[in-house]
Amino acid sequence: MTACAIPNQSDRSVVRLVSGVPDAYRVGAVRIDPPVVLAPMADVTNGAYRRLVKRIAGPGLVVTELISTVALHYRSQKTLNMFDVTEDQRPLAVQLFGADPQIMAEAARIAVCAGADIIDVNMGCWVPKVCKTGAGAAMLRDEDNACRVVEALVRAVDVPVTVKMRAGWDYGHLATAGLARKLEQIGVAAFALHGRFAVQGHSGEADWNLIREMKQALRRPLVGNGDIRSPFDAVRMFQQTGCDGVMIGRAAIGNPWVVRDIVHYLRTGTLLPPPGFEERVQTALIHVCDLARTLGEGRAVRHLRGQLPLYLRGYRGAARVREAIHRAETIRDVEQIFAQARHHLRDEPDPPVWDIGRTPGENVTVPAASRPC
């Protein structure tokens, strides 16, 4: 298998489901089947990784990185390149962030022209550079403007509009069910809720009770997000909250197989064996090769320095691989580093791609440059 070959797709022929788990849900006219979503993650869910996860895992929906509507307004080529829409990603949601209704509406039209099947509004990003503009989770502190923005989007495009949000800005400002009902009346087709407040970032535990309460308050589909790191977590999310879908975020960074395993388990109730060393290496190389087509080789390698080592997470000696890749400049460098690792690690048992013993709230460490909103 060559470095840039395409891996086998997951088997989509099995239809038997785990009890209590829906087979699909709808966002307007778009069917999300299976009800598993790859979360929008800054610096992670570019076109290369969306294609990779779709091929390996077959989630029902993938979402772009959060995209600046102001940058689209000024026709930033770098930002326009972030769409990278291809047919093998569909259905695809484009996530936008911004606080100006007119600029958001303009950006939504651009996204639809670029091929978006769904427009998603970011009301969950808590990082200061986003919130200081009034966008992201800061919109939860200005419900009137949040409603104006969403109404402008619903009127501007003929594809479904969805909202991904946090439980509120902080513990004193719970903004889930009340705001969601207002947005539902405006025309939002579905919601995703991360069960933490904005001020928490990724600390503490996601409160799935908030997801259950929001689901009970809404008529439109709700996707649960936060602390889903294994197939068992996904089933518990469905059963404890009654949500219509699950969204996988940080656990999938450098690890498309966790999405694969969740999809497979929801369909069959059985677990897949972990990928072997060669599959992990080839998948990492496919990732960087594909990204190089849009960013160029040098930028792609530098962009993925923090993510490529995660493909070998769990192997003894993987820390040496991480140190070496942090110095890599070309794809050939990456290939040579993996070749050296192959000599040392190929006879080790393959580690699992998710931790059956991890408890809710226990964080996965990811590189700072790859931390999603």
Residues annotated as part of the active site: 125
Residue 363: both structure tokens together: 């964080």
- The residues near 336 (Cβ < 8 Å, ≥ 6 apart) are none
Give me the count of residues in the chain. 373
137 and 89 in contact (C-beta within 8 Å)?
no
245 forms bridges with which residues in the sheet? 223
Q: What are phi and psi of 245, to 5 degrees?
A: -155, 165
